[in-house]
Amino acid sequence: MHRLEVALAERGYPILIGSGLLDPDGEAAQTLRGEVPGRCLVVSDAQVAPRYLGRLAAALGRSQAELPNVVLPSGEAHKTLASFGQILDACAGAGLRRDDLLIALGGGVIGDLAGFAAASYMRGIGFVQIPTTLLAMVDSSVGGKTGLNLGAGKNLVGAFWPPRLVLADIDTLSTLDAREYRAGLAEVVKYAAIADPGFFDWLAARVALINARDPAVVARLVEVSCRHKAAIVARDEREQGDRALLNFGHTFGHAIEAALDYKGLLHGEAVAIGMLQAARLSERLGLANAADSARLEALLQALGLPTTPPQITPERLLEPMALDKKATRKGLRFILWHGIGQARIVDEVAVGEVRAVLAERGPRA
C-alpha cells in the first residue's frame, strides 16, 4: 500500500493507494474504521453501489442493510442542485450530527457532490473519499475542491472542503469502462508532461502493462500522479499561481468540449487533444521543439487516447478563450511548455498563433 500526505494550510490528510484496500482485515480498512467511529452516510451512484457498497460495508465492519446510503443516478447530468438537496435530506434523515461523516463512493461526480454536501450540512461535517474511477483517484479526490453544475455552466457552485481520508482501492478499476479508464490516463500523462520527464519515460516504457491495468503499475501511476497534484496544491491551495499549470491542455480541451456541447468526447479525451495543441503552440512560439510534440502524441496514441481534433472552426473555439478572465487585449493566457516536464504560464499569446494551431488538423508528415 502506498501512503502519502496532502499538506493543506488548515489540515492535511492521507491518501492510501493499493489493491485490496477494502479488505476488512487489511490496514487500510482499519484506518477507515478509525475515521468512522460513529454514524455515517454513504453517497454513491447506480453503477457503483451495486458493485462496491457491500464491500465498503464489510470494510466498515457493518452489514449493508444497516449502512445508511443514498444512491444517485450516475453521470455528469446529475451533478445538480437537486442531487445535492437529495444528499442533504438523506443526511438529516439518517440523523447525522456535526461529528458524523459522509463517505463518497464513486467517481468525480459523486466526490464533488458529496464533498459539497459535507461542506454545507450543519456548516460542515467530515468527509471521506473512496474514488472508483481513475480520474477521481488521480485528480478530483486530491486538492479539496467540491462542487456542482448549474444550468448556466459547469462547476459554478462549490467550496474548498478537503476530505479526512482518501482510500483508492485499485481493484475497483477492474469494472470501469475502458473509455473512462483511458480518459483518466490523460490526466496522468498531464502530470508527466508538466513536471516529470522521468515519469513520462516510465509511462512510455509500460504502455502494455498500463493498458492491461496491471495492479502494481496502476497503483504506482496513481501514487505518482497524486504526489504531483498534492505538491502543486500544497504550494497553491487557492489557485493564485502554480496550480494553473494543472490546466495544461485544458484551455484547448474546454473549448472543444463546449463547442461539442459536452457530448461526444469525454473530458480526458478533449484534454489529450488539447495537450497536443498546447505542445504545438509552444513549438510555433519557439518555446519547444517538434520532437517533444511527437513524443507526447505517440504516448497518448499508445494509451488509446485521441489526438486529432474534431471538425470545429477555429473561430468557434477561440470564442470561449477570448472570454477567459486572464485574456487581455494583447492576447490570451496558455499553459505551454519548454518540452516534456517543463510547463509554464505564458500570457499575451497572439490570437493569430492560436488560430494557426487550431487550423492544423490532420496528422503531420
Ligand X SMILES: NC(=O)c1ccc[n+]([C@@H]2O[C@H](COP(=O)([O-])OP(=O)(O)OC[C@H]3O[C@@H](n4cnc5c(N)ncnc54)[C@H](O)[C@@H]3O)[C@@H](O)[C@H]2O)c1
Provide the binding-site residues for ligand X, judged by CB under 6 A.
45, 47-48, 51, 74-76, 79, 106-110, 112, 132-133, 135-136, 139-140, 143, 145, 155, 172, 175-176, 180
Catalytic residue among 35, 187, 257, 283: 187
Catalytic residue among 182, 250, 280, 295: 250
Instruction: From 64, 119, 54, 62, select the one nearest 87 (Cα to Cα).
Output: 119
- Residue 243 designated active-site: yes
Closest to ligand X by CB, 107 or 274:
107
Closest separation in Å from C-beta 183 to ligand X: 6
Catalytic residue among 33, 39, 243, 284: 243
Catalytic residue among 247, 269, 283, 333: 247
Name the packing angle between helices 314-322 and 351-359 (round to 10°). Answer: 140
- Residue 187 designated active-site: yes
Closest to ligand X by CB, 112 or 223:
112
Closest to ligand X by CB, 105 or 354:
105
Distance CA 97, CA 99 (A): 6
CA 235 remoteness from chain centre:
18
Residue type, 93: G
* Bridging pattern class, strands 101-106 and 165-169: unpaired
- Residue 239 designated active-site: yes
* Bridging pattern class, strands 69-72 and 13-18: unpaired
Closest separation in Å from C-beta 217 to ligand X: 18
Distance CA 191, CA 340 (A): 10
- Residue 2 designated active-site: no
- Residue 326 designated active-site: no
Please enumerate in sequence order all residues whose Cβ is within 8 A of that of 83, keeping only pairs 6 or more positions apart, or say none.
72, 113, 148
Q: Within 13 A of 307's CA, how many CA atoms are on the CB side?
A: 21
Catalytic residue among 239, 353, 355, 360: 239
Cell, residue 244: 494553473
Closest separation in Å from C-beta 187 to ligand X: 8
Closest separation in Å from C-beta 325 to ligand X: 18
Closest separation in Å from C-beta 172 to ligand X: 4
Cell, residue 321: 478563450
Closest to ligand X by CB, 83 or 282:
83
- Residue 348 designated active-site: no
Helix (H) or strand (E) holding 119: helix 108-120
- Residue 254 designated active-site: yes
- Residue 267 designated active-site: yes
Closest to ligand X by CB, 303 or 357:
303
Whether the Cβ atoms of residue 189 and residue 275 lie closer than 8 Å to each other: yes
* Catalytic residue set: 123, 145, 187, 229, 239, 243, 247, 250, 254, 267
